[in-house]
């Protein structure tokens, strides 16, 4: 007999048919009622044991965490709390689970503890919900772009370029670390390396994405990216997934419209398709909030927050306008910012972004037209800037509780402006000849952005630490599993 998944069972009417279910024991009461979960959905299925006619040695092995199969009639439930249940005639144990040894317990365990047992945490209701929602969001992103005629482009994971120019790269090499070959002047001789040049893991697929967009029109990437930044925060990973659309013949406004539509679409998708999992996560947050002082509690429930994002336009303003707001803000006047805002040109810290999003506007914010000096070389120089106040057509989307979730820009399509900028920023033109070729041959205005997938999953699930929304987090000092 083929097994039926619990998600499917719960969608059908109880028709007194015989079924086979397989899963893990979540609870076992009165030697009779098993709560079985198979991961296909948040809900458990109640399996009712025929205690009198079951071998006591087998009953003894039905423990929290054990993998079992149950065969029997699917009937309307006699008890409260569930619509259907299985009257088991046959139980099979696939894998015992010794409660003395099993690190997970049928009670609330801290996220920190579970992070240390990340290989088992999928078995908890919270993490199973997080990873089902993560899946749904990934699917929704592909659907969003596919429905709009974007092509999914696979950009390289190993590359010789540093797209962001931030130098936070993991080197990829097969050279012997204990005895590196050297050139005459003592430098490491990458000519003898696997690729005959220095290579690294990608920090972004954007530059390659632009090559695709300037032929295919609309593309997006969705892949792993790597940053060796020593950030031990709840928002940074050394390995994270990024979605990078790139659109030909688009400007900054088109770019903002696309990003806003995408974020609203995926939040709406989660509301429609992940209701049970969002409920589990919302209840977890409500519990967590009870332990906090009133003023630190979330102003909105998880699902209300998602609805708010879907239903309200994001606030759009320029960097210059934001600086004015921040300069005149109470925390700035009262010296409450760790980095006081003194004037135009300063990079915004997360305390400033949080003030704008969570206090001043209380909604998602799109900041545009940042000073050229604090942004990447490929961003388009704005026309008609005051001398000394050059800005670029950049945009960052800031979300409540998350900070920057999206970073993007219109790209510099004018060859001479681009090369001048690269020279000023000491970016070697020879190495990026292929990128510059798009500007030499059939260049056109284009724009794109990068969405940090884990930050999106954090926002939608309400998980406070980014390490809890990726299965096997990589961060400074940790590459377990």
Please provide residue 412's backbone torsions phi and psi, each rounded to the nearest 5 degrees. Answer: -75, 110
Among ligand 4AD, Mg ion, none, the one that 136 touches (CB under a kind-dependent 5 to 8 A) is none
Is residue 448 involved in binding ligand 4AD (CB under 6 A)? Answer: yes
Among Mg ion, ligand 4AD, none, the one that 454 touches (CB under a kind-dependent 5 to 8 A) is ligand 4AD
Closest C-alpha to 412, from 154, 206, 202, 184: 206
Question: For 468, which DSSP code?
Answer: G
Nearer to Mg ion, 23 or 400 (CB): 400
Is residue 406 involved in binding ligand 4AD (CB under 6 A)? Answer: yes
The residue whose Cβ lies closest to Mg ion is 407
> Of the ranges 92-100, 277-285, 335-343, 398-406, which one interacts with ligand 4AD (CB under 6 A)?
398-406
Position among 449, 459, 461, 474 found at the interface with ligand 4AD (CB under 6 A): 449
Sort residue 249 into left (φ over 0), alpha (ψ -120 to 50) or beta: left
Cβ neighbours, 10 Å, residue 266: 26
Nearer to ligand 4AD, 212 or 408 (CB): 408
- Distance in angstroms (rounded) separating the CA atoms of residues 302 and 232: 26
Question: For 250, which DSSP code?
Answer: -
Name the site residues for Mg ion (rule: CB under 5 A).
407
Q: Three-state DSSP class for 79?
A: coil
Among ligand 4AD, Mg ion, none, the one that 169 touches (CB under a kind-dependent 5 to 8 A) is none
Identify whether the C-beta of residue 267 lies closer than 8 Å to the C-beta of residue 456.
Answer: no
Closest C-alpha to 377, from 420, 422, 409, 415: 422
Cα Dmax for the chain = 88
Nearer to ligand 4AD, 206 or 332 (CB): 206
- Return all residues near 463 (Cβ < 8 A) that are at least 6 apart: 130, 281, 457, 469
Is residue 410 involved in binding ligand 4AD (CB under 6 A)? Answer: no
Nearer to ligand 4AD, 27 or 471 (CB): 471
- Distance in angstroms (rounded) separating the CA atoms of residues 468 and 130: 8
Closest C-alpha to 385, from 377, 393, 375: 393
- Cα angle 311-312-314, degrees, rounded to a multiple of 5: 140
In the window 145-164, what residues touch ligand 4AD (CB under 6 A)? 163-164
Among ligand 4AD, Mg ion, none, the one that 474 touches (CB under a kind-dependent 5 to 8 A) is none
Nearer to Mg ion, 223 or 407 (CB): 407
Is residue 452 involved in binding ligand 4AD (CB under 6 A)? Answer: yes
> Of the ranges 56-64, 269-277, 346-354, 404-412, which one interacts with ligand 4AD (CB under 6 A)?
404-412
- Residue 227: CB minimum distance to ligand 4AD, A: 5
Is residue 446 involved in binding ligand 4AD (CB under 6 A)? Answer: no
- Residue 133: CB minimum distance to ligand 4AD, A: 17
Position among 23, 408, 445, 473 found at the interface with ligand 4AD (CB under 6 A): 408
Is residue 248 involved in binding ligand 4AD (CB under 6 A)? Answer: no
Is residue 407 involved in binding ligand 4AD (CB under 6 A)? Answer: yes
Position among 144, 150, 190, 240 found at the interface with ligand 4AD (CB under 6 A): 240
Nearer to Mg ion, 127 or 399 (CB): 399
- Distance in angstroms (rounded) separating the CA atoms of residues 133 and 118: 17
Cβ neighbours, 10 Å, residue 317: 16
Nearer to Mg ion, 205 or 407 (CB): 407
- Residue 452: CB minimum distance to ligand 4AD, A: 2
- 151-152 and 218-226 strand pairing: parallel
Position among 121, 134, 236, 467 found at the interface with ligand 4AD (CB under 6 A): 236
- 199-201 and 158-159 strand pairing: antiparallel
- Residue 394: CB minimum distance to Mg ion, A: 9
Binding mask 179-208 for ligand 4AD (x = CB under 6 A): -------------------------x-x--
Nearer to ligand 4AD, 332 or 461 (CB): 461
Identify whether the C-beta of residue 419 lies closer than 8 Å to the C-beta of residue 429.
Answer: yes
Structure-block tokens of residue 94: 């696939």
> Of the ranges 149-157, 239-247, 257-265, 281-289, which one interacts with ligand 4AD (CB under 6 A)?
239-247
- Distance in angstroms (rounded) separating the CA atoms of residues 356 and 399: 10
- Distance in angstroms (rounded) separating the CA atoms of residues 89 and 449: 56
* CA atoms within 13 Å, Cβ hemisphere of 124: 26
- Return all residues near 66 (Cβ < 8 A) that are at least 6 apart: 24, 25, 93, 94, 95, 96, 97
Q: Which residues bind ligand 4AD (CB under 6 A)?
A: 163-164, 204, 206, 227, 229, 236-237, 240, 242, 244, 404-409, 448-450, 452, 454-455
């Amino acid at each position: 007999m083929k097994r039926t998944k619990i998600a499917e069972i719960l969608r059908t009417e109880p028709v007194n048919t015989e079924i086979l279910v397989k899963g893990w024991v979540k609870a076992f009461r009165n030697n009779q009622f098993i709560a079985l979960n198979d991961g296909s959905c948040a809900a458990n299925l109640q399996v009712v044991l025929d205690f009198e006619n079951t071998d006591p040695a087998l009953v003894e092995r039905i423990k929290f965490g054990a993998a079992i199969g149950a065969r029997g009639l699917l009937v309307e439930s006699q008890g409260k709390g569930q619509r259907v249940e299985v009257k088991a005639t046959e139980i099979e144990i696939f894998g015992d689970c010794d409660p003395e040894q099993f690190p997970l317990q049928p009670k609330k365990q801290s996220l920190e503890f579970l992070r240390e047992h990340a290989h088992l945490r999928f078995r908890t209701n919270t993490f199973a919900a997080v990873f089902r929602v993560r899946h749904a969001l990934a699917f929704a992103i592909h659907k969003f772009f596919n429905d709009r005629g974007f092509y999914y482009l696979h950009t390289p994971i190993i590359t010789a370029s540093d797209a962001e120019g931030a130098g936070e790269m993991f080197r990829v090499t097969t050279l012997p670390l204990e005895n590196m070959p050297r050139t005459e002047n003592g430098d490491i001789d990458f000519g003898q390396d696997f690729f005959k040049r220095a290579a690294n893991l990608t920090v972004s697929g954007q530059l390659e994405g632009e090559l695709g967009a300037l032929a295919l029109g609309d593309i997006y990437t969705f892949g792993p990216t790597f940053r060796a930044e020593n950030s031990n925060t709840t928002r940074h990973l050394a390995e994270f997934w990024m979605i990078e659309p790139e659109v030909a013949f688009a400007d900054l406004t088109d770019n903002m419209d696309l990003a806003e539509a995408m974020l609203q679409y995926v939040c709406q998708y989660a509301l429609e398709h992940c209701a049970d999992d969002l409920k589990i996560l919302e209840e977890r947050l409500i519990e967590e909030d009870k332990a906090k002082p009133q003023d630190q509690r979330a102003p909105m429930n998880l699902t209300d927050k998602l609805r708010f994002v879907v239903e309200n336009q994001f606030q759009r303003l320029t960097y210059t306008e934001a600086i004015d707001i921040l300069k005149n803000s109470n925390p700035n006047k009262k010296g409450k910012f760790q980095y006081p805002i003194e004037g135009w040109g300063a990079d915004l810290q997360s305390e400033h972004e949080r003030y704008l999003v969570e206090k001043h506007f209380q909604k998602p914010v799109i900041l545009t037209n940042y000073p050229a000096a604090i942004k990447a070389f490929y961003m388009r120089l704005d026309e008609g800037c005051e001398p000394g106040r050059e800005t670029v057509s950049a945009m960052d989307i800031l979300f409540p509780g998350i900070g920057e979730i999206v970073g993007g820009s219109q790209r510099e399509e004018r060859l001479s402006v681009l090369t001048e900028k690269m020279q000023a920023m000491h970016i070697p033109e020879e190495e990026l000849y292929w990128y510059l070729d798009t500007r030499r041959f059939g260049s056109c205005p284009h724009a794109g952005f990068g969405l940090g997938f884990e930050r999106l999953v954090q926002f939608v699930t309400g998980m406070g630490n980014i390490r809890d929304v990726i299965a096997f987090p990589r961060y400074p000092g940790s590459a377990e599993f």
